[in-house]
């Protein structure tokens, strides 16, 4: 391919609204252009990368025995009503009307469609297991589309859905996808960390997210250096806070004392009070709905003063996603005081059967301080078991760095990451709702046991850039680069020896299946080099007049220094370099990546 025959609008300046490095580089390298927030056009180079990622995904899904299909993006709302997600997923659903004013949905995902297909086509255990996948555009009405392709309104996903006869069989399908994902990301040249992920209200142990460590990621990952544990912060557990919770009673009964103007845990740690945060009880009021139709009910949540509520754990403990913090008016109605003076000491509760959910770090806590449900007053000498009527105990706190890991007690670390893939054991939620049933050998009917497996293809493209870049631009791994080699003749007159040589090599390399871009622009060398480095072709070959006079050309691998080679050896040097480079990546695949090896224990 010749540069002037394609379309590569590189930019010298960084567009003002691009915040993170990968977004800036995608725009500057001419890979994509923004139509409007969350909607992007792929330009030729970006499209080449996209196709490569898709191809890798396809090969590995096929290798894992998944079957490619292609489902409609436009979906009837009825199947979403049947699964219940017409309501629970309403925030992300784009709805459109046809000429008869009938409503349709633009699919954010395809569980409902695939389960409907399977309900119609599969009826016997003999037809199982099956795993269907597709690579397709999804639509999600995201609250905050941002960071380019990372969080878009329209994006490409690979989604796969497995159907099995039993839980144990579903586990095998799950593991196949887990292994395929490990290979996919390694082949893409991405270092990923598979982490245990929140399973939400569905529950269960089997969900992993594939995370790309990056400071700009929207997720937080908890892990320990040895690799024995890695989890999304939403899910992570630990041996508990490092500083112990006081458990020695300090008085025979709670004692009320005045705390004028004190509304925070922190204010109570200061003189004259000097109550350490771990010796305080934090009281939150949340309004919870057990189902969509139900009324909101208040729930008191008790945490140690220095802990933060983990909302995913709270949702899991309650079995519903529908909750919100109470408004100050609601708080007042429930407890008769304003936030800052709240507490759960039984004697002060107006509503005796109020649900009180306490974090396990408070078990046995004694000699604690908490609000008195009277503005400007707190209680000291509070013993949990004696003075508070806890209805349920649960792990509700957010883990902090430095705490002991749950597997072998090693210190936990925290870092930000980008979720590129997700494997999830679904169980029978959709197969029951949409009647994907099979008959077993004895003729008994059961719902299929399902799994679902997503990879954000467009997000993966950008995550590679976020991980593989330097001062000068993108540094593509060979497997996902838009072109492997950029030939840069520094004179582009059609009969100039530099150009003629470049043209010959272009043809020869192309014939051997190497993807080559010939920079035939009549530009200064500096401009060509800068652009090639910005785009990040793995190998640049400079054909300059001075070196050609010495019968030499220059090989400039993107990650290495320049080296001169004799013209007669140049082609084999290029091929050799490409060989070594692809060997390096393949080796990465064989090892399945360090992080993958580390996490085996949690996926088994």
Q: How many angstroms separate the Cα of 500 from the Cα of each of 477, 491, 520?
A: 29, 10, 11
Q: Cα 295 vs. chain centroid, distance in angstroms?
A: 33
Binder of ligand ATP out of 59, 142, 255, 515 (CB under 6 A): 142
Say which entry of ligand ATP, Mg ion, none residue 151 contacts (CB below 5 to 8 A, set by partner kind).
ligand ATP
Closest C-alpha among 532, 524, 601 to residue 196:
601
Interacting partner of 157 out of ligand ATP, Mg ion, none (Cβ under 5 to 8 A depending on kind): ligand ATP
DSSP conformation class of 411 = B
What b/e sequence results for 319-343 when a residue is b if at least 16 CB atoms lie within 10 Å of its CB, and e otherwise?
Answer: ebebbeebeeebbbebbebbbbbbb
Q: How far is the CB of 195 from ligand ATP (least distance, A)?
A: 12
Residue pointed to by tokens 């785009």: 535
Least Å from the CB of residue 178 to ligand ATP: 14
Q: Dihedral sign, CA of 20, 528, 523, 578?
A: negative
b/e map of 412-449 (b: 16 or more CB within 10 Å)?
beebbbbbbbbbbbbbbbbbbbbbbbbeeeeeeeebbb
Q: Distances from the Cα of 403 to the Cαs of 164, 184, 276, 535, in angstroms? A: 39, 33, 19, 42
Please identify which residue in the block is written with the tokens 């056009």.
41
Closest approach, Cβ 589 to Mg ion, in A, equals 24
Contact segment (CB under 5 A) with Mg ion among 22-30, 145-153, 398-406, 420-428 equals 420-428
Using the contact rule CB under 6 A, the part of the chain among 113-121, 147-155, 333-341, 427-435 near ligand ATP is 147-155
Quick one: CA dihedral 224, 229, 231, 233, positive or negative?
negative
In whole angstroms, the minimum distance from the beta carbon of 338 to ligand ATP comes to 34
Among 198, 359, 419, 552, binds ligand ATP (CB under 6 A): 419
Q: Which is nearer to ligand ATP, 91 or 292 (CB)?
A: 91
Q: Does 48 bind ligand ATP (CB under 6 A)?
A: no
Among 125, 155, 206, 505, binds ligand ATP (CB under 6 A): 155
Task: Choose the stretch contacting ligand ATP; rule: CB under 6 A; options: 309-317, 386-394, 420-428, 542-550.
Answer: 420-428
What CA–CA distance (Å, rounded) separates 458 from 418? Answer: 13
Closest approach, Cβ 419 to Mg ion, in A, equals 6
**Binding flag, residue 151, Mg ion (CB under 5 A):** no
C-alpha R_g of the chain: 29
Task: Give one DSSP letter per residue of 116-170, joined into a string.
Answer: HHHHHH--BGGG--EEEEEEEEEE---SS-BTTTTB-SEEEEEEEEEEESSHHHH
Q: How far apart are CA 148 and CA 32, in angstroms?
A: 9
421 binds ligand ATP (CB under 6 A): yes
Size of the site for Mg ion (CB under 5 A): 1
**For Mg ion, which is the closer residue by CB, 422 or 459?**
422
Partner that binds at residue 599, options ligand ATP, Mg ion, none, CB closer than 5 to 8 Å by kind: none
The CB-nearest residue to Mg ion is 422
- Of 106, 157, 177, 365, which one interacts with ligand ATP (CB under 6 A)? 157
Stretch that binds Mg ion, among 77-85, 127-135, 416-424, 438-446 (CB under 5 A): 416-424
Is residue 592 classed exposed, middle or buried when 0-12, 13-18 and 19+ CB atoms within 10 A define those classes?
Answer: middle
How far apart are alpha carbons 248 and 418 in whole angstroms?
A: 44
Shorter beta-carbon distance to Mg ion: residue 213 or 298: 213
H helices of 244-371, in order, are 265-269, 311-318, 328-335
**Contact status: 306 vs ligand ATP (CB under 6 A):** no
Among residues 388, 420, 423, 541, which is the contact residue for ligand ATP, using CB under 6 A?
420
Residue list 422-481, contact with ligand ATP (CB under 6 A): 422, 454, 456, 458-459
Q: How far is the CB of 189 from ligand ATP (least distance, A)?
A: 17
107 binds ligand ATP, rule: CB under 6 A: no
Which of 109, 232, 280, 480 is close enough to bind ligand ATP by CB under 6 A? 109
- When CB distances are held under 5 to 8 angstroms depending on the partner's kind, the choice from ligand ATP, Mg ion, none that residue 343 binds is none
Beta-strand relationship, 130-139 and 154-164: antiparallel
- Answer with the entry of Mg ion, ligand ATP, none that 456 interacts with (C-beta below 5 to 8 A by kind): ligand ATP
Which one of 70-78, 419-427, 497-505, 507-515 is the stretch in contact with Mg ion (CB under 5 A)?
419-427
In terms of CB distance, is 230 or 478 closer to Mg ion?
A: 230
Supply φ then ψ for residue 90, to 5 degrees. -55, -30
Cα 353 from Cα 153, distance rounded (Å)? 44
Which ranges of 64-93 would DSSP assign to H, the alpha helix?
77-83, 85-88
- Among Mg ion, ligand ATP, none, partner that 459 touches (CB below 5 to 8 angstroms by kind): ligand ATP
Binding flag, residue 340, ligand ATP (CB under 6 A): no
* Least distance to ligand ATP, CB of residue 336, Å: 39
Cβ neighbors of 307 (< 8 A, separation 6 or more) are: 241, 282, 359, 361, 397, 398
Tell me which of Mg ion, ligand ATP, none is bound by residue 109, counting a contact when its beta carbon lies within the kind-specific cut-off of 5 to 8 angstroms. ligand ATP
How many residues line the site for ligand ATP (CB under 6 A)? 15
3-state helix, strand, coil in the chain (%, to 5): 35, 30, 40
Contact 459, 420 (CB under 8 A): yes
* Interface characters, 245-274, with ligand ATP (x: CB under 6 A): ------------------------------
Residue 140 interacts with ligand ATP (CB under 6 A): yes or no: yes
> Which of ligand ATP, Mg ion, none does 155 bind, CB closer than 5 to 8 A by kind?
ligand ATP
482 lines the binding site for ligand ATP (CB under 6 A): no
Contacting residue, 208, 422, 540, 556, with Mg ion by CB under 5 A: 422
Which residue, among 90, 101, 96, 100, has the nearest Cα to 75 in the 3D structure?
96
Per CB under 5 A, residues contacting Mg ion are 422
Residues that bind ligand ATP (CB under 6 A): 109, 140, 142, 151-152, 155, 157, 419-422, 454, 456, 458-459
């Amino acid at each position: 391919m010749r540069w002037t025959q394609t379309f590569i609008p590189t930019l010298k300046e960084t567009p003002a609204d691009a915040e993170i490095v990968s977004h800036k580089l995608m725009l500057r390298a001419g890979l994509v252009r923004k139509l409007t927030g969350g909607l992007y056009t792929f330009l030729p180079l970006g499209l080449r990368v996209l196709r490569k990622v898709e191809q890798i995904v396809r090969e590995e899904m096929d290798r894992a025995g998944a079957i490619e299909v292609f489902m409609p993006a436009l979906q009837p709302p009825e199947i979403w009503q049947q699964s219940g997600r017409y309501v629970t997923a309403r925030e992300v659903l784009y709805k459109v009307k046809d000429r008869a004013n009938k409503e349709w949905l633009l699919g954010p995902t395809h569980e409902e469609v695939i389960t409907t297909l399977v309900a119609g086509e599969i009826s016997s255990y003999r037809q199982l297991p099956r795993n269907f996948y597709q690579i397709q555009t999804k639509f999600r009405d995201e609250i905050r589309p941002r960071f380019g392709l990372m969080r878009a309104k329209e994006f490409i996903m690979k989604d796969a859905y497995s159907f099995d006869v039993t839980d144990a069989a579903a586990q095998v399908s799950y593991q196949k996808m887990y292994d395929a994902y490990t290979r996919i990301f390694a082949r893409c040249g991405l270092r990923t960390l598979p982490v245990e992920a929140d399973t939400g209200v569905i529950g269960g142990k089997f969900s992993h997210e594939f995370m790309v460590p990056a400071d700009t990621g929207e997720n937080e990952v908890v892990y320990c250096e040895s690799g024995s544990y890695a989890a999304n912060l939403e899910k992570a557990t630990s041996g508990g806070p490092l500083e112990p919770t006081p458990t020695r009673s300090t008085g025979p009964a709670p004692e009320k004392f005045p705390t004028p103007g004190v509304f925070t845990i922190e204010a109570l740690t200061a003189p004259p009070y000097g109550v350490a945060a771990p010796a305080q009880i934090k009281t939150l009021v949340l309004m919870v709905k057990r189902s969509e139709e139900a009324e909101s009910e208040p729930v008191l949540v008790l945490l140690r003063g220095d802990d933060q509520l983990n909302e995913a754990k709270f949702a899991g403990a309650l079995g519903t996603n529908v909750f919100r913090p109470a408004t100050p008016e609601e708080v007042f109605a429930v407890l008769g005081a304003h936030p800052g003076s709240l507490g759960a000491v039984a004697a002060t509760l107006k509503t005796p059967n109020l649900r009180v959910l306490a974090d396990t770090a408070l078990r046995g806590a004694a000699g604690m301080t908490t609000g008195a449900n009277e503005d400007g007053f707190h209680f000291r000498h509070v013993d949990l078991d004696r003075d508070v009527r806890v209805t349920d105990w649960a792990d509700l706190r957010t883990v902090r760095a430095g705490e002991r890991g749950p597997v072998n007690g090693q210190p936990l670390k925290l870092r930000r990451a980008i979720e590129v893939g997700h494997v999830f054991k679904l169980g029978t939620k959709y197969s029951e709702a949409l009647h994907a049933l099979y008959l077993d050998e004895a003729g008994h009917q059961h719902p299929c046991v399902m799994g679902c497996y997503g990879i954000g293809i467009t997000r993966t493209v950008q995550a590679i850039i976020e991980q593989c870049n330097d001062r000068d631009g993108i540094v593509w791994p060979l497997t996902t680069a838009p072109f492997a080699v950029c030939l840069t003749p520094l004179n582009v007159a059609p009969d100039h020896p530099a150009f003629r040589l470049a043209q010959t090599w272009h043809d020869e390399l192309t014939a051997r299946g190497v993807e080559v871009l010939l920079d035939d622009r009549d530009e200064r060398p500096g401009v060509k080099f800068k652009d090639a480095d910005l785009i990040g072709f793995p190998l640049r070959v400079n054909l300059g007049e001075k070196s050609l006079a010495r019968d030499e050309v220059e090989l400039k691998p993107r990650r290495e220094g320049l080296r001169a080679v004799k013209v007669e050896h140049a082609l084999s040097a290029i091929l050799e370099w490409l060989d070594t480079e692809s060997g390096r990546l393949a080796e990465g695949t064989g090892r399945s990546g360090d992080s993958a090896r580390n996490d085996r224990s949690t996926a088994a």
